């Protein structure tokens, strides 16, 4: 075989292998995307980004965190969510003295 024929055949084999690999990846990715869409639904709407920080990720006005309270079953107090971590630390560990 001449050098030109060997180069042509090797280039053809390389292109066929590369095409087969790309087609395999595309087929697997497409199948996986269809499975995920069937299982979890379509693509959700993108999150809203507010540079001022006054709106949440859904584009709604943020609720003041100081107006939200939770009831602690351990000490039976209503605690602001701003103080949640401090309250849990005090209520469940070192603050429980008798």
- Rounded to 10 degrees, the C-alpha dihedral 86/92/96/98 comes to 160
Q: Which helix (H) or strand (E) holds 4?
A: helix 3-40
What's the half-sphere exposure (Cβ side, CA atoms, 13 Å) at 24?
A: 6
Better-scored residue on pLDDT, 4 or 28: 28
Angle subtended at Cα 29 by Cα 25 and Cα 35, rounded to the nearest 5 degrees = 150
Q: Is the pTM of this model over 0.85?
A: no
Tokens of 50: 């507010």
Q: Looking at residues 4-33, what average pLDDT do you find? A: 96
Q: How confident is the model at residue 4 (pLDDT cuts 50, 70, 90)?
A: confident
């Amino acid at each position: 075989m001449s050098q030109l024929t060997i180069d042509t055949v090797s280039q053809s084999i390389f292109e066929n292998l590369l095409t087969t690999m790309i087609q395999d990846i595309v087929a697997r990715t497409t199948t996986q995307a269809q499975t995920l869409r069937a299982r979890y639904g379509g693509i959700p709407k993108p999150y809203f980004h507010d540079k001022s920080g006054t709106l949440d990720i859904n584009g709604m006005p943020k609720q003041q965190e100081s107006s939200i309270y939770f009831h602690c079953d351990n000490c039976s107090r209503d605690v602001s969510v701003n103080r949640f971590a401090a309250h849990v630390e005090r209520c469940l560990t070192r603050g429980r003295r008798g």
